[in-house]
Amino acid sequence: MAAPIPGLLAAMLKAERLSGVLRWKVNFSEPVISGEAGLAGWNYIWLDTSSVTSDRELVDVAANQISKPALLGAAISELVTALIPTPADLKTVIAWTNWQDLVKADLTTAQNFAEQLDEACQGKSAVVIVCDSVGQFPGIAELTQG
């Protein structure tokens, strides 16, 4: 199990060296993401999509996790708009964990979601980290700790 190097994510966020959607084979926990984001002065969203296997489940689970019930049943594009802040100066890191079930069941939806997130991050201080040490997510650039 790969644990994150303490302070590394905070340093990269503070230096604004991360953008878009990146795959990092590290087992983050919500308290670690919260702490690292806080050290860097960034907001964070913990997105846990365990057992999600479709676009509808993805949107509904995420809507519940970010406390936006109006998004229930919405399109992925509406979810992306809610996740990635509009003001370019609102710094946000999203840690997406337990994405493996979605990739296995519906790779097209997983890739579509990742592509829309990546596009929404452009020109903003926003990054999505597809974390967890196990699993492959085709089409996402890998980030290493070292």
Residue-range domains of the chain with CATH:
8-143 (3.40.50)
3-state secondary structure of 88: coil
Average pLDDT over residues 105-130: 96
Mean pLDDT computed over every residue of the chain: 93
Overall pTM surpassing 0.85 (yes/no): yes
For residue 17, name the pLDDT band (cuts at 50, 70, 90).
confident
Of the ranges 58-62, 122-126, 142-146, which one carries the lowest mean pLDDT score?
142-146
Query: What are the CA-CA distances from residue 29 to residues 52, 58, 62, 78, 117 (Å)?
Result: 19, 20, 17, 26, 21
Question: What is the DSSP secondary structure assignment for residue 90, as one 8-state letter?
Answer: S
Instruction: Give the helix, strand, coil percentages of the chain, each rounded to 5.
Output: 40, 15, 40
Kindly calculate the radius of gyration of the chain based on its CA atoms and give it in whole angstroms.
Answer: 14
Average pLDDT over residues 35-49: 96
Model pLDDT, residue 145:
61
For residue 1, name the pLDDT band (cuts at 50, 70, 90).
low
Cα 87 from Cα 47, distance rounded (Å): 21
Average pLDDT over residues 71-88: 92
**Could you read off the pLDDT of 24-37 as tens digits, one per residue?**
999 999 999 999 99
